Amino acid sequence: MALSEQKNEGKIIRDLTVGSVPVVMLKFAMPLLASGLLQTLYNMVDMIVVGKFVGSNGLAAVSIGGEMLMLVTFVAMGMSNAGQILLARYVGENRRDLLGEMVATLFTFLLGTAIVLTVIFHFAYVPVLRYLNTPADSWEMTCQYTVTCVYGLIFIYGYNLVSAIMRGMGDSRHPFIFIAIASILNIILDLVFVAGMKMGPLGAALGTVIGQAVSFLFALVVLFRNRVEINFDFKPKSFRIHKEVFEPLLRLGVPMVLQSAAVQISMLFVNSYINAYGTTAVAVTGVGRKIESLIMVVAMAISSTGGAMISQALGARKVDRVPKVVTTALGVVFIPSAILAVITWFHVDWLFGLFSDDPEVLGLANTYIPVAMVLYLGAWLRPAFLSLINGTGNSKLNLMVGLMDGIVCRIGLSFLLGVLLDLGIMGFWFGNAISGLVPFFIGIVYLLSGTWKNRVSK
């Protein structure tokens, strides 16, 4: 059966190259946005419940533990995004024969990677937490939170790869359902474990892992029911790596992984200095990033949507849609960025007060306002141009963005402002925030140069 026919009869494959760009983007992005909002909600509930029932020490533990978790998930994020882009390209090119091979390769490679990383970080988390200057009064809780989350890594990887497979084929509705299951379950378990059973950050971590596990199992069931569409039978012998799709996956995915790694490792470097300022500084930084994540929800949904749309458009040789996708993405992300900027500027005490009643936390939060404005600016400008870079499959440029953002700018600026110019915690905060503008500057040059047109399918 031809892929074009399968689109009409199937449940999860959708053509993103037909119709008004804003309408298609919003229609595809809304489930992603709803998914992101739910995920952000339950992440924020973690911090709110821990902050209210444990205090600043608990907030610091969740903040540092969350950073550690990001360190071990960047492979899942990078390779899943690459797989999503390639699947979208295969859909646009009408290459159904490659869909099943890519699904098999993603499952085999990513779940195997999750197992290996779990073993590595079981032995490595203590020295890493020491390197991060984890405050002594938060040490035990941070260890509990980190270890629990790392043990659930296979479920986090599994959820990401299944969702990427479906989004690459044009289905963003099912990933929303999966994250809704995880979110609702996590919120309930947070209240039971942290508020009711007084388990502290350990309870929050258990809620996260259990929610992800249940979500992953539901996702597997749905994907199995659509095995004919994706051309994969889920038999044990089928779980293997196919060279034909693994090589392009590595070419696109490894730079994405390195980009994510560069950004995450550089953030850990900066945070190691911030953490040395004590529990209050860690708490404010963690809460500030949770608040920023409200924009990042929209940004990631639009970036993922834009990347899939651009990839399919190039596969279908519809070049004129690409600039429209970029400008539409800028317009959509501007709205939440502006709203959150106004709220932060005028009501920062109320905003941070949702997470903590500690007067020291609220006092330091007022100095965080100008930093937040720069962070929001980057969050607005980045997704449109990351969708262009990722959607065109430009792995070299993607890697350059990561190295410039993470290594050169984040570490360089933070060291310059925080150490050499002796601006203290403000220097490290601003160094991190300013580096977030790098993808915009590189992406705008790439768009205006027109070199991305060379990536149209022949």
Can you tell me the mean pLDDT for 408-437?
90
Can you tell me the mean pLDDT for 318-347?
91
Q: Determine the pLDDT at residue 437.
A: 92
Contact present, 400 and 454 (Cβ < 8 Å): no
Q: Determine the pLDDT at residue 369.
A: 94
Structure tokens of 17? 């190259």
Domain definitions of the chain by residue range: 18-452
- The Cα–Cα gap between 204 and 136 comes to 20
Question: With 50 as the cut, is the pLDDT of residue 10 above it?
Answer: no
Q: Determine the pLDDT at residue 416.
A: 92
Place of tokens 């279908």: 316
- The Cα–Cα gap between 209 and 231 comes to 30
- The Cα–Cα gap between 418 and 429 comes to 8
- The Cα–Cα gap between 285 and 365 comes to 9
CA atoms within 13 A on the CB side of 254: 6
Of 25 and 447, the structure prediction assigns the larger pLDDT to: 447
- Identify the three-state secondary structure at position 132: coil
Question: With 90 as the cut, is the pLDDT of residue 368 above it?
Answer: yes
Q: Determine the pLDDT at residue 337.
A: 92
Q: Determine the pLDDT at residue 401.
A: 84
- Identify the three-state secondary structure at position 393: coil
Q: Read off the pLDDT band of 198 (50, 70, 90).
A: confident
Show Cβ contacts of residue 254 under 8 Å, excluding neighbours closer than 6 positions: 78, 395
Helices 139-151 and 201-225: crossing angle in degrees, nearest 10, is: 10
Q: Determine the pLDDT at residue 3.
A: 38
Q: Determine the pLDDT at residue 374.
A: 95
pLDDT of 131-184, one tens digit each? 878 888 888 888 888 888 888 889 888 888 888 888 777 777 787 788 788 888
Place of tokens 């990427």: 164
Of 213 and 396, the structure prediction assigns the larger pLDDT to: 213
Q: Determine the pLDDT at residue 434.
A: 93
Nearest partner of 426 among 296, 251, 330, 288, judged by Cα: 288
Burial string for 246-270 (b: 16+ CB within 10 Å, else e) reads bebbbebbbbbbbbbbbbbbbbbbb
- Highest mean pLDDT: which range of 27-41, 75-89, 334-348: 334-348
Can you tell me the mean pLDDT for 346-373?
90
The pTM for the full model equals: 0.69
Q: Read off the pLDDT band of 6 (50, 70, 90).
A: very low
Can you tell me the mean pLDDT for 190-206?
87
Q: Determine the pLDDT at residue 457.
A: 56
- The Cα–Cα gap between 58 and 70 comes to 18
Contact present, 385 and 240 (Cβ < 8 Å): no
Question: With 90 as the cut, is the pLDDT of residue 128 above it?
Answer: no
Helices 173-190 and 21-53: crossing angle in degrees, nearest 10, is: 10
- The Cα–Cα gap between 326 and 307 comes to 10
- The Cα–Cα gap between 345 and 348 comes to 6
Of 41 and 124, the structure prediction assigns the larger pLDDT to: 124
Which run of H or of E encompasses 242? none
Q: Average model confidence (pLDDT) for the chain?
A: 83
DSSP 403-437: IIIIIIIIIHHHIIIIIIS--THHHHHHHHHHHTT
DSSP 281-344: HHHHHHHHHHHHHHHHHHHHHHHHHHHHHHHHHHHTT-TTHHHHHHHHHHHHHHHHHHHHHHHH
Q: Read off the pLDDT band of 1 (50, 70, 90).
A: very low
User: Rounded to the nearest 5 degrees, what angle is found at the Cα of 429, between the Cα atoms of 427 and 434?
Assistant: 90
Structure tokens of 455? 């990536």
Structure tokens of 306? 């834009």
Phi, psi of 11 (to 5 degrees): -105, -25
| CA 384 to each of CA 325, 331, 379, 389: distance values in angstroms, whole numbers, following the listed order | 8, 9, 10, 9
Q: Determine the pLDDT at residue 445.
A: 93
The fraction of the chain above a pLDDT of 70, given in percent, is 94
Q: Determine the pLDDT at residue 448.
A: 92
Question: With 70 as the cut, is the pLDDT of residue 5 above it?
Answer: no
- The Cα–Cα gap between 348 and 45 comes to 18
Q: Read off the pLDDT band of 320 (50, 70, 90).
A: confident
